[in-house]
Amino acid sequence: MNLKNRLSKLEKTKRGIIAEVECICFPPEEPTRVELCAEMEAVAAVSCPIHGKRFKHFADTVYRAICVPTHLDPHWRTWHSPQYVKAMDASFPSDRWPATKIGEPDGAARFVLKDGTEIHRMAPPPEILEYKSPTAVSHVLKQEQPS
């Protein structure tokens, strides 16, 4: 191998490493897991400087009550790859995100971005009514003994 070929291969390797550092795509084996419409819009609005569109589709989810939006829950970082974490960090710019949780007097909570956009509202918890009976009634059936 001559010097020109070796330098060419080295340059290709260097370009590949630089491209890998600048890439903010989601890994194909880890679909994007966001649940709120505002989060989906934020993730879809950012393009990778190298590849353009960063993912094919959002991950399917089973319905659950959202207590804390995905981007506010720090635990998701522990079970995803460094590339996924980098892609999520690029999706939520610091001038708008993270949202702030604001408690309402009626017990409801809402999440508001730094620019004032409300992205999620949780209804107040339902009132728990306690049933108090003035007397407890119990019926015991007496079984007949065989003779």
Identify the pLDDT of residue 145.
58
Which run of H or of E encompasses 90?
A: helix 82-91
The predicted-structure confidence for 28-47, as pLDDT tens digits, reads as follows 888 888 888 888 888 888 88
Prediction pTM value: 0.59
Confidence band (pLDDT; 50, 70, 90) for 143?
A: low
The predicted-structure confidence for 48-73, as pLDDT tens digits, reads as follows 888 888 877 777 776 767 777 777 77
The predicted-structure confidence for 112-125, as pLDDT tens digits, reads as follows 988 888 888 888 77
- CA dist 81 and 30 (Å) reads 8
Q: Name 140's Cβ contacts closer than 8 Å, sequence gap at least 6.
A: none
